[in-house]
Amino acid sequence: MNLPPPRRENDSTPAGVTPLAAGDPRVVGALRIIGRLGTGGMGTVYAALDDHDRRVALKRVHPMYAADEDFRIRFAREVKLVRRIRVPGVPRFLDADTRADVPWLATEYVPGPTLEAHVRAAGPLTGIAPADFARVTAEALAAIHAAGVVHRDLKPGNVILSPDGPKVLDFGIARAAEETALTRTGGLVGTPGWIAPEQYRGLSATDRSDMFAWACLVVFAATGRGPFGVGTADVVAGRILSAPPSLEGVPDALRPLLAHALDKDPGRRPTAAETVGALPVAVTPWAGAFLPENTDPEAWLRVAPPRRPWRRRHGRVLTLAAVGTALAVAAGAGSTLLPLDDTPPPSHGGEVPPSDGGDAPATDTAALAEVPEEYHDLYENGTVVIEPASDTEPVVVRSLVAPEGREAVEQLRVTFTGSSQHSGTLRVDVRVEYLPDFGSLRLHSQDFAWVQAIEPDHEYLDLRRSTSPGVLAELDPEDPTEEFSVTFFGSPPGVVYYLPEAALDENRRAPLDQPGGFCHGSPGPGNHDPYPGHPDLGRHDATPTDGVPVNSCAYVV
């Protein structure tokens, strides 16, 4: 990606941002554009502010891709995958529109120089910074690969050295653009010097191709040069295909791992997850301590276009009939969509009373919701789905999915952060994050469930609902996060779920292989593979094997 030129003395544009060019947008979706951050082969990145005046990096693809329907399909597929990636080494995904005239996606803005710019201006990383850089970027790749994404364009210009640590950029569009370019030209897509040997031989990029590029990146961070030197694209390609890498100047502790990742045979390279396990854990936080000049949010506000009213940005309010249908989707979950205006929601005075169906709380159907017009059909006819969202953390995402599966809105991210037990009572600590920029969601104690045991002759889970009373959280875009605890009567081993009634079948049941559950209990024969940092929470897989869920920590043998 091309970096912005130095800021001129009389330029009111904030540091690190260049003025907009003729034809550049001033508003995209709900985002207000203030300038450019850079331009690359696939699109232009703009500096923008969201409704809450948070700084955003917005990437719009080039018109040549916007006019290609196949690209749009591929881009939508990639966005669906990358929106779930949440690790420190990746900018947080915020929003996207794959059906806009010019498709775009937005992430949090990350201040700081790229690795390429830093090395050019100040030289390679020193001290323990190369090891920290290697670990954080490997963790980012592990999360990207776990989501089913291959980066395909990992290079020094696509890593930001932020004050909080390295951030890997520019994944999500790369695969869609690569497949489109290959369809048109049949040529190789990538940046010379950062392309794995198998790609030069005509094979598709895989996660192991990313690991080759990762090793080149770490060598560059530690030495200021790539492991195959400099020269024309043909010369560097020849060295990548046949010459051994140069690791001179690389810290001794990193050399064996980098040599392994630079193997000419992709099958012999480690995965990103294996690499993370082989790297030392940082004794101190990110050692770079970079302090970029463009850290003043007020400078962005001074040049931003005025904020537009919510109704202009998101369309009209639903009719009463449509709202009633939309609320019915969430009724069994005790989740209410509330209006985002100055009218306070009705007070429930504590615990929500149970509905006629039993222990599920009733929904306050008097509340109206503002839902973007493009989501009307989804909110009328969609289905609530709960799915695991990470291989490294006990996290699930609640989505509203269209009947044909063509469209979805992620509504809630639920992270189980810890657990404890005392006198036959289990307590699970939970952090929740509301994801849309409209409406709101109410979480009730009955949205959480515990399974003490899975009986072999049963077809459905024996769900025990939480004993925590009443409403646990009310979330909206202004107040999107909350932390709380839920309690259950029971003792480990067992499985804890976020499982609102709207995610159950018509008889309020969940199958034995219901996804999204997490084992509670000390690691042992019945509770394999605890999550890092969560010794009492482990992976749970109740998928039957020969009719028996052999990896279920709650299955009764």
Residues with active-site annotation: 153
Placement of tokens 């657990």 in the chain: 419
On whether the CB atoms of residues 180 and 71 are closer than 8 A, the answer is yes
Cα distance between residue 464 and residue 497, in whole Å:
10
Q: Cα angle vertex 115, ends 113, 120, to 5°? A: 90
Q: Cα angle vertex 502, ends 501, 508, to 5°? A: 45
68: alpha, beta or left? (left if phi > 0; alpha if psi -120 to 50): beta
**Residue 243 DSSP symbol:** S
Angle between helices 174-185 and 69-82 (to 10 degrees): 150
**Residue 275 DSSP symbol:** H
DSSP string covering 72-116? HHHHHHHHHHHTT---TTSPPEEEEETTSSS-EEEEE---S-BHH
* Token representation of residue 171: 């994944």
Q: Please compute, for residue 347, the number of CA atoms within 13 A of its CA located in the half-sphere on the CB side.
A: 2
Cα distance between residue 266 and residue 257, in whole Å:
14
The residue type found at 205 is A
Phi, psi of 481 (to 5 degrees): -125, 155
Which of 151, 138, 312, 276 lies closest to 218 in space, CA to CA? 138
Phi, psi of 98 (to 5 degrees): -85, -5
**Do the bridges between strand 93-97 and strand 55-61 make them parallel or antiparallel, or are there none, so unpaired?**
unpaired
On whether the CB atoms of residues 415 and 393 are closer than 8 A, the answer is yes
Which of 487, 493, 488, 499 lies closest to 528 in space, CA to CA? 493
On whether the CB atoms of residues 33 and 47 are closer than 8 A, the answer is yes
On whether the CB atoms of residues 272 and 214 are closer than 8 A, the answer is yes
